[in-house]
Structure 1
Amino acid sequence: MKKECIEFRNVSFRYSEEGPWVLKNVSFRIPADEGVAIIGHNGSGKSTIAKLINGLLFADEGEVVVLGTPVTEETIWEVRKKVGMVFQNPDNQFVGTTVRDDVAFGLENRGVDRSQMITAIDNSLRAVGMIDYMLHEPHRLSGGQKQRVAIASVLAISPQIIILDEATAMLDPKGRKEIMHTVNEVKDQQGLSLLTITHDLNEITQADRVIVMSKGEVWLEATPREVFAREKELQEIGLDIPFVAKLANELGKVDVPISQQPLNHEELLEELWTYHSNK
């Protein structure tokens, strides 16, 4: 049985005593070394989940457990040593005058030895393809480069869990694809748990499992293929599936059999080639 790395136990939350419930009795488990995406329209509660995991907020009801530790005001610093978060706007995470200084910040706060710090900075920047920008000023970088540095800063502290909270929302499609490819490569190489929080269903194709949120509740837990097959229901809760999945669904309606829901263009072409070869 896989060990849970994140667990929500009947969690409810609202931002004020008189305000509406943002999360309502939410329960799920994320095993260690698993990549999970949480998706939902704006206001569905998905970003609140990220803040509860990292102790930026605390549940009004229920319990959030991270790597066996309940998240409370007494345990937040212990939890934050194990969890790294990358937010939507990387400029909000920069504190150094150079890329190297910025990546070093979290290490300095933890009192890491200088020789270990140099190694950690080099390794994390190399992992995201930014080693040649070490002495650049962060604010002079492109959006995609800034986000890579933000990810490097998180990797440098050796977290066991990485949370991407709408981390690619400000990037173009090419930049989004590159960042997600980089993060998934690092996840596999270092055996990290990855939690991606997004409203863009193009980003969930590499996830092991998807949690769909709607109106503060868990609407569905499924694989990306199973999620894409429910196009009409997703549209009803304010979400839309990628073009490849749409095309596959339409082909199925005109008697072009698709044996499994494709996640990308390559899989769709393979399905069409198989269909053509069997005719």
Structure 2
Amino acid sequence: MREKLIEFRNVSFRYGEEEPWVLKDCSFSIYKDEWVAIIGHNGSGKSTIAKLMNGLLFPQEGEIYISGKIVNQETIWEVRKEVGMVFQNPDNQFVGTTVQDDVAFGMENRGIPREDMIKRIDTSLTAVGMNDYRLTEPHRLSGGQKQRVAIAGVLAISPRVLILDEATAMLDPKGRMEIMNTVSNVQEMNQISLITITHDLREVVQAERVIVMNEGVIWDEANPREIFAKKDKLREIGLDVPFIALLAEELKKKGISMKNEPLNHNELLEDLWTLHSTM
């Protein structure tokens, strides 16, 4: 049985007593080494979930557990050792004058010995492909490079969970692809739980499970293939369907049926090749 790392139990949250509920009675679990994508339109509650996981916010109703510990004011610093977070704008996370200084900052705050810090800087920057930039000033980096350094800074503190909260939203398509490839490699190499918060369905194909938020409630929860199969319903709640899913839908209208709901170009081509071979 898989170890449960994060558990939301009937969690509700709002930003003020007169404000509407942003989350309403949400319950779900995230497990060790699992990659979960949390998606939804702007205002659906997905980023609030990220902040609740890291103790930046606390629920008005319900309970949140990280590695079996309830999240509250007394446990918050223990929780933040377990959960690392990368935000949309990496510039807001930079404090060092060089890349290696920035990666070291979180470890210095935790009193990690210098010898260990040097090893972790090297390991974390290598993991995100940024070791050659360790003496570079952060403001000289591209947007994608900045996000990779931000991820390295979080990895250096050895969290059990890495949250990316709209971490690719400010990047161009090439930068987005680079970051998604980076986090995929990082998750596999470091055996951590990965949570990606996004409104872009193209970013969820590698996830093991998808939680779809809509108006503060869990609208659906399934694997990516099952989620993409609900194209019309996704459109109804304001989510754009990936191009591959739209192309497969148009092919089906022309009488060309896919074996499965394709998640990427390779799957679509493989299905078309198999179909062609049997004709």
Distance 2:250 2:211 in 1: 25
The CA deviation string for residues 12-69 of structure 1, in whole angstroms up to 9 with x for no partner, is: 0000011100000011111111100000000000000000000000000001111111
**Which residue of structure 1 lines up, in the alignment, with residue 191 of structure 2?**
191
**Which residue of structure 1 lines up, in the alignment, with residue 141 of structure 2?**
141
Distance 1:207 1:183 in 2: 11
**Which residue of structure 1 lines up, in the alignment, with residue 120 of structure 2?**
120
**Which residue of structure 2 lines up, in the alignment, with residue 214 of structure 1?**
214
How far residue 253 of structure 1 moved from its aligned partner, in angstroms, is 2.2
**Which residue of structure 1 lines up, in the alignment, with residue 110 of structure 2?**
110
The CA deviation string for residues 222-279 of structure 1, in whole angstroms up to 9 with x for no partner, is: 1101111111000000001110011112212222110111111011000000111111
How far residue 96 of structure 1 moved from its aligned partner, in angstroms, is 0.4
Contact 1:229-1:249 within 8 A present in 2 as well: no
* Counterpart mapping for 1:214-253 below 5 A: 214-253=214-253
Deviates more, 1:246-255 or 1:178-187: 246-255
Q: Does 2:155 align with 1:158?
A: no
**Which residue of structure 1 lines up, in the alignment, with residue 55 of structure 2?**
55
SS where residue 263 of structure 2 aligns?
coil
**Which residue of structure 2 lines up, in the alignment, with residue 257 of structure 1?**
257
Distance 2:259 2:217 in 1: 31
How far residue 168 of structure 1 moved from its aligned partner, in angstroms, is 0.5
Distance 1:240 1:149 in 2: 29
SS where residue 196 of structure 2 aligns?
strand
Query: Unpaired segments of 5 or more residues in structure 2?
Result: none
Q: Does 2:84 align with 1:87?
A: no
How far residue 213 of structure 1 moved from its aligned partner, in angstroms, is 0.2
Query: Aligned partner of 2:271: which letter?
Result: E
Q: Once superposed, which parts of structure 1, at least 4 consecutive aligned residues long, lie more than 2 Å away?
A: none
How far residue 2 of structure 1 moved from its aligned partner, in angstroms, is 1.2
**Which residue of structure 2 lines up, in the alignment, with residue 131 of structure 1?**
131
Distance 1:231 1:250 in 2: 12
TM-score of the superposition, structure 2-length normalised?
0.99
**Which residue of structure 1 lines up, in the alignment, with residue 43 of structure 2?**
43
SS where residue 261 of structure 1 aligns?
coil
Distance 1:11 1:29 in 2: 12
Query: Unpaired segments of 5 or more residues in structure 1?
Result: none
Distance 1:184 1:69 in 2: 27
Distance 2:92 2:209 in 1: 29
Query: Aligned partner of 2:143: which letter?
Result: G
SS where residue 43 of structure 1 aligns?
coil
TM-score of the superposition, structure 1-length normalised?
0.99
Distance 1:37 1:157 in 2: 22
Q: Does 2:160 align with 1:176?
A: no
Contact 1:81-1:159 within 8 A present in 2 as well: yes
Distance 1:212 1:263 in 2: 17
